[in-house]
Every structure is written in structure tokens, then in C-alpha cells.
Amino acid sequence: MEPTWLGGRITLFQGDITGLDVDAIVNAANESLLGGGGVDGAIHRAAGPGLLAECRRLGGARTGEVKRTGGHALRARHVLHAVGPVWHGGGRGEPELLASCYRNALALCREHAITSVAFPGISTGVYGYPQEPAARIAVGAVLAGLRGAERPEKVTFCVFSPGALTIYRRVLDELAGPQR
């Protein structure tokens, strides 16, 4: 059973984000939105060529922006493409840009009546953002975004490694209260 926080509104899952049964998954995208490595490449491969074709029509995105596409061959009906910052030590606005990815994704959830969404660790792969501060920003932004909002009803933080799972569990316990 997945651990939960906020009365079940937040869950933590270790595994492949592309197979989750949620309304939307968030893609840790690059500015082109045309696929790449890590979770971005995995989502594009799992979604099929229709996702790439739709992304080509979006014209890219700036760091901190999030754009929505269909889910194509994924279980999720939507993909929210979030362009996170490349880590340069934290002095180039990286924390605010990363937080804006989470805020903007939650705003799209409300705008498009998306009730469940799964987030990867945006910017923590090839973009080099350290896991612990990235998790604190992610959890803090999601908690703030859920306050007083009906949607999304459920947020899943999807991590790939056991180390990331440990970090997210600790941060969620600290910021959202003990898991249930």
C-alpha cells in the first residue's frame, strides 16, 4: 500500500510514471518539448509518435512553463510538460523556476478538471538539481497549491530510486505531517 499524506490527497510511489493510472502525468521536459533522456524519453516512448507530433505544434516552452498535450498511448489522458531549470548552484533563480513548474502544473489541473496527477522529480536527472532541495520545493509548492483547491484531488510523487523515495518520505513527513 502506498503511503499517504493530507488525508490521502498526496501519495508516494516508486516506479515507472508512464504506467500510472492517473488523469495526468508531468513530464520533466526540455525547452523543445520534443523528447530527451530520462523520464522525458520514457514518456515519449510509452506515449508513441502522436505525442511527438502534438509537441511539435506547441513551439517549445520556457523554463518554468508547463504545456499540456494528450496522453496518446499512455493510461493518463494528459501529459503536462514542465521545463525545469538546469542546476547552476542555486544562484540563477533555480528554486523559483522549479517551484513555478509545480504551481503551473497544478493550475493546468484546475483549468482542465484534472483530478489526479503524478509528478516526477523535475530537474533532478540530467539537469542536476540536488534531490533534497528539489523535493522540498516540490512538496512545498504542491502543499501550497492544494490549500483551498478542489483539484487535483490526488497528487502522486513518483520517484525512481530508493534514495529518492527515502528523501521524499522524510520531506513529506516534515512538511505535510506524518504519513498514514
Are 133 and 95 within 8 A, CB to CB? yes
Q: Encode 58-83 in three state secondary structure.
A: CCCCCCCCEEEEECCCCCCCEEEEEE
Which pTM value belongs to this model? 0.97
CATH 3.40.220.10 fits 4-176, yes or no: yes
Lowest mean pLDDT among 88-92, 116-120, 124-128, 176-180: 176-180
Element (H, E) at 14: strand 10-14
Q: How confident is the model at residue 2 (pLDDT cuts 50, 70, 90)?
A: confident
Backbone angles phi, psi at 10, to 5 degrees: -120, 130
Mind listing the pLDDT tens digit for each residue in 127-173? 999 999 999 999 999 999 999 889 999 999 999 999 999 999 999 99
Cell 502544473, residue located: 105
Residue 1 above 90 pLDDT?
no
Q: Are 133 and 139 in contact (CB under 8 A)?
A: no
Span 6-59, pLDDT tens digits: 999 999 999 999 999 999 999 999 999 999 999 999 999 999 999 999 999 999
